[in-house]
Amino acid sequence: MDNNNIINQPSDSPFRNIFFVGAGGIGMANLERYFLSRGHNVAGYDRTESALTKQLEEEGVKITYIDSPEEIPELFRNPKETLVVYTPAIPADSPTLSWFRQNGFEVIKRAALLGKITRSTKAICVSGSHGKTTTCSMTANILRNSKVGCNAFLGGILRNINSNLVICEGSEWSVIEADEYDRSFHQLSPTIAIVTSTDPDHLDIYGNEEGYLEGFAHFTSLILPGGVLLLHTGLKLHPRVKEGVKIMTYSGGNDGDWHAENIKFGDGSLTFTLVGPEISIENIEVGVPVEINIDNAVAAAAASILAGATPENVKYGLKTFRGAKRRFEVILDGKGGTTALLDDYAHSPNEVRASIRSVKKLYPGRKVSVIFQPHLYTRTKDFAKEFASALSEADQVIMPEIYPARELPIPGVDSMLILKDVTSPLKCYCERKDLLNLIKNSNFDILMTLGAADIDRLLPDIKKKITGQSPE
């Protein structure tokens, strides 16, 4: 059976129904929306209700929050008509997932479904330990505003459209965030691949840095002949591409086949000149004007031009780019000396350092306070000293308990493993449940929330505390 039919010809597909186990994940949501748009019946399970799951339900996804086979809707209980898609974050012993497996359903990972899409389109796949979501979102915003168009599956909410899914009917291009966790990106078949960074991460999966780099090397081997690898300069990665694949380098500095020149900050804006092979585009303005976005903008512009976008498309797409939620998102702008509130998904030491440095450049001379929520016991254990060094660039560090996600506690691993080595003038441990009271009784100049956990769920109430409003 050719399951590519679920992509190419949904009306003829044997799988009219798709059930997503882990339906509330940001990466699952775009697939749910995609298949809803193509006429499929979509349902799923997730552990907790969130703003995203509520929105998905309003759009037509039937979601249960009880992990029990009895909760599966009748329409989705026939293995001949229902495809089951799951995320690796779901425990292997999930009763819902186990029931599907025991009753003859085809059960595939989210990445395998994305892989089917890359094999039925020309795919731009953006990989890396950090920078993926922003680069992906920038690329999508350029292409969706061009004749090229794209269907984009993003790892964050593109604020331009308030969605993580871009649909352009008739476009032969897709833009996909290539997640290295659980080697998911090994399911993809890119036409253009971007590698933004290879700072070690997910060592619980890869074992060590060498294993992590090998994962990326294998990813580069999946680029289709005639395709292009856009590789950030200075990486340890040794690509392993097929014959006929062109390797091009890029950077936000002055080196690489694609790079930035004439970088200018001023009046809350950031402009640069993009220089590439036989091309130069002057006065490109970046819609989210922080230094860390220069690299991302160069990669997005290069990929878009290689896909057929014009210089005018690039300038418009980058200027109008409003950012992805949780990627250096400005909640309060801090104008007129008021408190600024920013949120960033930064969850690796280099990301944390870059984020703090960027906000200091954006708000020179002002005191930067950071609430950093560690994500995963293993990541904390492996990079405690590196996190401490990065966080020490802030003037004040506040740290709640570790967000465990899929992991069980590791003896001796807690937030203090990082915090004890932070050298900022002010630092403290504060449990998540007490953060709002701490914020209420503090006077912040610039406040940043950082990390890949669920700290963002507190942002509406943090904003109200800072502005003097009463939380609902």
pLDDT of residue 6: 40
Q: Split the chain (472 residues) into runs of 10 and give each run's mean pLDDT.
A: 38 75 90 92 94 93 97 96 91 94 94 87 93 94 97 89 89 92 86 92 78 94 97 96 97 96 82 96 92 94 98 98 84 87 88 89 90 93 95 97 88 96 96 93 93 88 83 46
Are domains 5-110 and 121-319 of this chain identical in fold? no
Q: What is the 3-state secondary structure (H, E, C) of 172-201?
A: CEEEEECCCHHHHHHHCCCCEEEECCCCCC
Which pTM does this prediction carry? 0.76
pLDDT of residue 10: 39
Q: Is the distance from CB of 30 to CB of 12 less than 8 angstroms?
A: no
Q: Give the residue extent of every domain in the chain.
A: 5-110, 121-319, 329-467
Q: Letter for the amino acid at 259?
A: H
Reduced to 3 states, what is the DSSP secondary structure of residue 138?
helix
Measured CA to CA, the distance from residue 176 to residue 152 in angstroms comes to 6
5-110, what's its fold? Rossmann fold (3.40.50)
End-to-end CA gap in the chain: 53
Give me the CATH code for the 329-467 domain, please.
3.90.190.20
Secondary-structure class of domain 121-319 per CATH: alpha beta
Beta-strand relationship, 426-429 and 446-450: unpaired
Beta-strand relationship, 163-166 and 151-158: antiparallel
pLDDT of residue 124: 97
